Amino acid sequence: MSPVRTENTAESTKDTPELWTTRRINRTALLTMVVMLFAWSVDYVDRFSISMALPLIGQEFGVGKTEQGWLITVFALVYMVCQIPAGYLADRFGSRGPMLVTLIMWSVFTAFSGMAGTFGMLLVIRGLFGVCQGCFPAASIKAIAERTTPENRATTTGVMMAAGGVGAGVAPLIVGPLLVAVGWRHTFVWIAACGVLLGVAVWLILPKPLPAKLSENRKETQAPQGISRKQVLRSPMIWKFALLFCVSNMLAYGLVTWVPSYLVEVRHLPLDQTGVYAAIPMLVGIGTTILGGWLFDKYFHDKARWYLAVVSLVTAALLALMVNASGTVEFTVYETLAVGVSSMATMAIFGLPFRVLPPAVAGMGAGIINFGGQVAGAVAPVVMGLLADHFSFTAAFGFLIVTTVLTAVVAFWVPQHAGQFSFR
């Protein structure tokens, strides 16, 4: 077995656990939480800007919704393939370096997106953009595993995951006016420049890791401490959580990709108003994602199945009301409620694995679970594009109701508590 190299090892010889007071540990977790929130917000703004621009891109290149959906899917396919190798790299080389490289490189390819001369070239650029962003999640989750204790890890990770709402909510507010003012090409260049500056700032502020004795789970997990990356890769339990994240993540990808086009083409809203309506549900999801992380740490860390099932079924009911809404405001209200409720389940998916996995292999575990989530990114945009092209947006959004109900079913297949994990 190859040695596992982490930032914790380098620090442990200089900084013993006895020097880490409760106040210092909490301050490290808080600063890490804030830094990761900003980093992931930049990630999602860059990633979701393309959704707002799809109507203009389709008009310029003369392509339909199916082809437009491929711009999201090609990114997601490449992003998906990168997850497990990225987890290995994060565990082998630590979190800080990979995060800096990916933050800068994905901003470069965001700028290149605005320079594409053909639709085919734009597809290639979005694929390369997926490579750069694909290396980021595992490194960032490893960074949190190294800088938090197991007792507050789900709360901290929940705040970071809330950046999906920040990015998806802020992106329409920023991108909508930019698209109107300077067009879709210059919009990508402006977003890329901001991403580089913020990426470097985030990297400089990230605190150093906790000693390994503080960041590893000594109380809850019954798994051996010497878990290898190969054992994590072969664990059926981790792959079950990957499947759970896959079916639950269909909702996020589907709404972010197609709600802007729906509002423009069916509700006939101008782009700047579309940005506001598209932002509201995602901004609400910020608070409920954080709330879900706290609820998991406090009450549901050993009862996640029922929690997930109830949340998913309520979300499906709200989506059904959204699909049958008669007006734009009613549609947005039900979408907001659906996103708000579903976001409460995010850390019920990630919380238990990240309590069980030692920080030394957290990158690999994160890569596998996020691989499942990105299968949704490859499937939902193109399937919903096909349904919208050949049937209607009602059929496309109906697809999300089915996958959300399926989330409730899969929830009863994953482990319920740490003792059910096996890495043999």
Does pTM surpass 0.75? no
Count CA atoms closer than 13 A to 307's CA, side-chain side: 22
Return the higher-pLDDT residue of 297 and 34.
Answer: 34
Entry field: residues in the chain: 424
Q: Provide the mean pLDDT of the chain.
A: 76
What pLDDT, on the 0 to 100 scale, is given for residue 15?
60
Residues 108-167 have pLDDT tens digits of 888 888 888 888 898 898 888 888 777 787 777 777 777 777 666 666 666 666 666 566
Judge residue 239's burial from the number of C-beta atoms within 10 Å of its C-beta, 0-12 exposed, 13-18 middle, 19 or more buried.
middle
| Cβ-based neighbours of 330, under 8 Å, separated by 6 or more | none
Mean pLDDT of 371-389: 84
Q: What does the pLDDT read at residue 166?
A: 64
pLDDT band at 416 (very low <50, low <70, confident <90, very high): low
Chain segment 163-208, per-residue pLDDT in tens:
665 666 666 677 777 787 888 888 888 878 777 777 677 677 777 7
> In the predicted model, what is the mean pLDDT of residues 346-354?
73
Q: Could you give the percent of the chain with pLDDT greater than 70?
A: 78
Please say whether the beta carbons of 72 and 377 come within 8 A: yes
Note the pLDDT tens digit of each residue in 59-91: 888 887 778 778 877 887 888 788 778 777 777
| Amino acid 158: pLDDT | 65
- What pLDDT score does 19 carry? 67
Ramachandran angles phi, psi of 116, nearest 5°:
-65, 130
Gyration radius (Cα) of the chain, Å:
21
